[in-house]
Amino acid sequence: MPMRDRSRLEPDWKIRPFLPGDAPAARRLVESVWHEHFDQHPDPFVREFIYTRLSDVDSAQIAYGDRALFLCAVSEGEIVGTGAIKSLDHRECEMARMFVASGYRNRGIGRAIADELIRFARTAGYDRIRLSSNNSLAASHRLYERLGFQSVPAWDPGGETYSRYYALRISNPRR
């Protein structure tokens, strides 16, 4: 029987919870992915949006405490992906901070992070996960739709100008 190349079976990354000291590297990843997609965007609001929204990463140990989770995908000691669940109320949470470094895309990292976040949200007792994603991130939209997320109306006034809004029911709707 021929031997299989095990390096093709095992990913060269792992997913783990955010650790103390991860904030600078996680922030660099988020900013680099944002630059990649939006540096040339004609609207300054979109170009600069991320810089007003990173305090949760800088203080993730606090921001993602009770019934919340921040995950990092790590390869060779480097953070190459992130994703988080944050609590909105006792029944609904939000999937946020889904970013994967360009050199690590199409390896299943985004899917693995999302699967783990959905599993966490279900275990934490949430009924629904919502998320928003910039209109131009078509690959992200395909992932969310494959996971079962459905389009929903914007919850941010005027948000549909820049984003798509999704939700996923993760518990028995008759509950």
Per-residue pLDDT at 62: 83
pLDDT of residue 172: 55
Mean pLDDT per 10-residue section of the chain, whose length is 175 residues:
55 94 94 89 80 84 88 97 96 96 95 98 97 92 97 89 94 56
Coil, helix or strand at residue 115: helix
Question: Encoding tokens for residue 49?
Answer: 């949006």
What region, left, alpha or beta, does residue 150 occupy, with left being phi > 0 and alpha being psi -120 to 50 degrees?
A: beta
pLDDT of residue 55: 85
Sign of the four-CA dihedral 105, 73, 82, 110: positive
Q: In what order do the strands lie in the sheet with 163-169?
A: 14-17, 69-75, 78-87, 92-100, 128-134, 163-169, 150-151
Q: Which two tokens stand for residue 164?
A: 């798509």
Q: Classify 13 as helix, strand or coil.
A: coil
Give the per-residue pLDDT at 64: 86
Asked if 64 contacts 82 with a C-beta cutoff of 8 angstroms, the reply is no
